[in-house]
Chains A and B, each alone.
Chain A
Amino acid sequence: MGAFESILLTVITAATPLLLAAIGELVVERSGVLNLGVEGMMIVGAVMGFAGAQATGSPYLGAVFALLSGMGMALLFGFLTLHLVANQVATGLALTLLGLGLSGMIGEAFVGQPGIRLTGIEIPVLSDLPLVGRLLFGQDVLVYLSLALVAGVSYVLFRTRAGLIIRAVGDNHASAHALGVSVLKVRYLAVLFGGACAGLAGGYLSLVYTPQWVEGMTAGRGWIALALVVFATWRPLRVLAGAYLFGAVGILQFHAQAHGVAIPSQFMSALPYVATIAVLVIISRNRILTRVNTPACLGRPFVPDR
Chain B
Amino acid sequence: MRLELEKRPERSTLMALLSPVIAIALTLVTGAVLFAALGQNPAVALYMFFIDPLTASWSLQELVVKATPLILIGVGLAVCFLSNTWNIGAEGQFTAGALAGSMLPILLPGFESFLTLPLMLLMGIAGGMLWGGIPAFLKVRFGTNEILTSLMLVYISQLLLDWLVRGPWRDPEGFNFPESRVFSDAATLPALADGRMHVGAIFAVIAVLALSVVLLKTLKGFEIRVLGQAPRAGRFAGFSRNKIIVFAFLLSGGLAGLAGISEVSGSVNQLTPVISPGYGFTAIIVAFLGRLNPIGIFFSGFLLALSYLGGEAAQVTLGISDKTTRVFQGLLLFYVLACDTLILYRIRFTRPGVSAKGA
- Taking a contact as CB atoms closer than 8 A, the residue among B7, B143, B324, B333 that contacts A94 in the complex is B333
The yes or no answer to B145 lying at the interface (CB within 8 A) is: yes
Q: Are A94 and B334 in contact (CB under 8 A)?
A: yes
- In the complex, how many angstroms separate the beta carbon of A177 from the nearest chain B beta carbon? 13
- In the complex, how many angstroms separate the beta carbon of B245 from the nearest chain A beta carbon? 14
Considering the complex, give the chain A residue whose CB is closest to the CB of B163.
Answer: A266
The yes or no answer to B317 lying at the interface (CB within 8 A) is: no
- Taking a contact as CB atoms closer than 8 A, the residue among B7, B329, B331, B334 that contacts A303 in the complex is B7
Cα of A52 to Cα of B357 in the assembled complex, Å: 47
- Taking a contact as CB atoms closer than 8 A, the residue among A89, A105, A223, A273 that contacts B156 in the complex is A273
Considering the complex, give the chain B residue whose CB is closest to the CB of A83.
Answer: B3
Q: Are B142 and A281 in contact (CB under 8 A)?
A: yes
Q: Are B152 and A91 in contact (CB under 8 A)?
A: no
Neighbouring B residues of A100 by C-beta, 8 Å: 326, 330
Residues facing B in A43-86 (CB within 8 A) are 76, 80, 83-86
- Main SS at interface, chain A: helix
Cα of A306 to Cα of B356 in the assembled complex, Å: 7
Neighbouring A residues of B337 by C-beta, 8 Å: 80, 84, 86-87, 90-91, 94
The yes or no answer to B345 lying at the interface (CB within 8 A) is: yes
The yes or no answer to B138 lying at the interface (CB within 8 A) is: yes
Residues facing A in B72-128 (CB within 8 A) are 81, 86, 88
Residues facing B in A247-306 (CB within 8 A) are 264, 266-267, 269-270, 273-274, 276-277, 280-281, 284-285, 287, 290, 303, 306
Known: A273-B155, A281-B144. A105 touches B323 (CB 8 A): yes
Chain A 90-134 interface mask (CB, 8 Å, partner B; 1/0): 110111011111101100100000000000000000000000000
Cα of A108 to Cα of B327 in the assembled complex, Å: 13
- In the complex, how many angstroms separate the beta carbon of B54 from the nearest chain A beta carbon? 23
Q: Are A97 and B152 in contact (CB under 8 A)?
A: no
Q: How large is the interface on B (under 10, 10 to 19, 20 to 34, 35 or more residues)?
A: 35 or more
Cα of A172 to Cα of B73 in the assembled complex, Å: 37
The yes or no answer to A143 lying at the interface (CB within 8 A) is: no
- In the complex, how many angstroms separate the beta carbon of A85 from the nearest chain B beta carbon? 6
Residues facing A in B119-150 (CB within 8 A) are 138, 142-145, 147-149
Having A86-B337, A86-B338, A90-B81, one finds 15 other A-B pairs with CB under 8 Å, namely: A84-B337, A91-B337, A94-B337, A99-B330, A101-B329, A104-B323, A220-B151, A223-B151, A266-B163, A270-B155, A277-B153, A280-B138, A284-B138, A306-B4, A306-B355
List 24 interface pairs A-B (beta carbons < 8 Å), by A numbering: A80-B338, A85-B345, A89-B147, A90-B81, A90-B284, A90-B288, A93-B88, A97-B329, A100-B326, A105-B321, A108-B323, A219-B155, A223-B151, A230-B148, A264-B167, A266-B159, A266-B166, A273-B152, A273-B155, A273-B159, A277-B152, A281-B142, A306-B355, A306-B359
